[in-house]
Amino acid sequence: MSELELGSLGLVLNIADDRAHIEHAVEAERLGFSALWLFGGQLELLEPLAEVLRATEKVAVAPAIVSLDVHGVDDVVRLIEALDDGEAERLVGGFGAPQQAARPLAGLAEFLDELDGADVSLPAARRLVAALGPRKLEIARDRAAGAITMLVTPGYTAWAREVLGPDATLVVIQPVVLDADLDRARRTVRGPLGFLLSVGGYAANMRRMGFGDDDIAAMSDELVDAIATVGDADAILAGVRAHLDAGADHVALSVFSEGDQPTAIEVARAVAAASTLPR
């Protein structure tokens, strides 16, 4: 089904109170990143997506992901209606099953049905579904352009490609820390990782990828190194290539940082300077 072209390398931006993410979006596009992503957990309103679309010229702009516990089809329709045709064509929807629903997969299917029937819709070819397990991957394949995954190994990416088939788009959101001190970098990953492992299906997917309960509870070095990339710009690019070689179409860098560690736009500059990836 997929007609979605995202390029190979994207960047996740944090929404900032001082609106610095708008300037960073413009710079990231100039640096050659082909898609820009906004954290869904920061999208109390969907307006920041419109603001980034208006500030940029060619890049795809997507949420990772729109929470269906917070936003419904009416919110998506209002967002699309606020865009001109060129901006709307660059908007990619990223949606996940509602976590607070009694039957999350049924809630996701109901949302997609309602979106299909809306007067102003986002076509299946420009939407992605957050997916880890096989049933969600099948929904992503059958009801959308493809899937968004996060906290996964290249081995998982290869397996997800098999489930999705050759035509669907597979996006990997890849946590990265640009820091030569690997122990410090791993500690930085463990902060948000601890929260993420407590929600959704991430812990279950760690087991699916072969990690034991001790690894998960301790967030061991082996686990951190398998699902995140830490080190210099070359190490980050090697992590991107590993997922692309395993079957991903697009890898978006999700930058974690503490203290004086480089922020997302600083990592983007370093990676762009070192990269030979087509974007």
**pLDDT digits (tens), the chain, 279 positions:** 556 899 999 999 999 989 999 999 999 999 999 999 999 889 999 999 999 999 999 999 999 999 899 999 999 999 999 999 999 999 999 998 888 877 999 999 999 999 999 988 799 999 999 999 999 999 999 999 999 999 999 999 999 999 999 999 999 999 999 999 999 999 999 999 999 998 768 999 999 999 999 999 999 999 999 999 999 999 999 999 999 999 999 999 999 999 999 999 999 999 999 987 665
What pLDDT is recorded for position 201?
A: 87
Residue 1 token pair:
């089904």
100-126 pLDDT, tens digit each: 877 999 999 999 999 999 988 799 999
Question: Residue 34: how many CB atoms within 10 A of its CB?
Answer: 21
The count of C-alpha atoms lying within 13 angstroms of the C-alpha of 58, restricted to the half-sphere facing its C-beta, is: 12
CA gap 234, 256 in Å, rounded: 17
CA gap 279, 92 in Å, rounded: 17
- Helix residue spans in 117-263 (DSSP H): 134-143, 154-164, 182-196, 202-208, 213-218, 221-227, 233-246
CA gap 238, 275 in Å, rounded: 10
What pLDDT is recorded for position 119?
A: 87
Taken in order 113, 114, 117, 123, is the CA torsion positive or negative? negative
List Cβ neighbours of 167 (8 Å cut-off, separation of 6 or more): 1, 2
CA gap 139, 181 in Å, rounded: 40
State the DSSP code for 224. H
What pLDDT is recorded for position 221?
A: 97
Question: Residue 267: how many CB atoms within 10 A of its CB?
Answer: 22
Residue 142 token pair:
């059958």
What pLDDT is recorded for position 121?
A: 79
Of the candidates 200, 165, 185, the one whose C-alpha atom is nearest the C-alpha of residue 239 is 185
List Cβ neighbours of 155 (8 Å cut-off, separation of 6 or more): 209, 246
Taken in order 48, 99, 248, 233, is the CA torsion positive or negative? positive
18-28 pLDDT, tens digit each: 999 999 999 99
List Cβ neighbours of 119 (8 Å cut-off, separation of 6 or more): 77
Mean confidence (pLDDT) of the chain:
94
The angle, 0 to 180 degrees and rounded to 10, between the axes of the packed helices 134-143 and 104-116 is 0
